[in-house]
C-alpha cells in the first residue's frame, strides 16, 4: 500500500492492539533511488512509527527480492493483509483506505467471535 494509505490506516488503528503494521520496501528496479536512506526519509516524512524493512533484489541478475516470491507480489505499492491465524486474506496491487479499513474491521470482528 502506498504511504498515504499506510498513514491513514496506522492512524485509524493506532489504539487497536490486535493490529500490527509493517512495511517492506522491495526493490526490483530503480536501485539507486529506492535505497534504505530513501525509505527512512519517507518513513519520517509520512510520520510512520512502524517497523520498516528494505529488501533489494539483484540489479546484475534482475533477481527479485525473496519476499516478493514468497508473497507473490508484483509491483509497488503492494498490500498484504494477514489474519490472526497467519492466513493471507488480501494480497494484491494497491488497496484503498476504505477497503483496507473494512477488511481490518472484519478481521477484528472475526477474531472477537472466535
Q: 95 with 79: CB under 8 angstroms?
A: yes
| DSSP 8-class letter at 77 | S
pLDDT digits (tens, 9 = 90+) for 18-42: 999 998 888 777 777 888 888 899 8
The whole-chain average pLDDT of the chain stands at 87
What is the distance between the alpha carbons of residues 60 and 12, in angstroms, rounded to a whole number? 41
Q: Which residues pair with 93 in a beta bridge?
A: 78
- pTM for this structure? 0.79
Instruction: Return the closest-CA partner of residue 62 out of 22, 98, 31.
Output: 31
For residue 96, pLDDT over 80 is answered with: yes
Please give the Cα distance from 39 to 112 (Å, whole number). Answer: 35
pLDDT of residue 1: 62
3-state helix, strand, coil in the chain (%, to 5): 35, 20, 45
Instruction: Say whether pLDDT at 87 is over 80.
Output: yes
Residue 3 clears pLDDT 80, i.e. is over it: yes
With pLDDT > 70 as the criterion, what percentage of the chain qualifies?
98
- Contact between 67 and 55 (Cβ < 8 Å): yes
43-61 confidence digits (pLDDT tens)? 999 999 999 988 888 888 8
Domains of the chain plus CATH, in order, are 3-108 (3.40.30.10)
Amino acid at each position: 500500500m502506498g504511504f498515504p494509505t499506510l498513514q491513514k490506516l496506522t492512524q485509524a488503528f493506532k489504539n487497536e492492539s490486535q493490529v500490527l503494521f509493517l512495511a517492506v520496501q522491495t526493490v526490483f528496479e530503480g536501485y539507486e533511488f529506492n535505497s534504505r536512506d530513501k525509505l527512512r526519509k519517507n518513513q519520517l516524512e509520512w510520520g510512520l512509527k512502524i517497523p520498516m524493512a528494505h529488501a533489494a533484489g539483484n540489479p546484475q541478475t534482475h533477481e527479485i527480492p525473496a519476499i516478493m516470491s514468497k508473497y507473490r507480489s508484483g509491483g509497488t505499492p503492494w498490500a498484504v493483509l494477514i489474519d490472526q491465524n497467519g492466513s493471507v486474506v488480501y494480497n494484491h496491487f494497491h488497496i484503498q483506505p476504505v477497503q483496507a479499513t473494512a477488511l481490518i474491521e472484519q478481521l477484528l470482528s472475526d477474531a472477537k467471535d472466535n
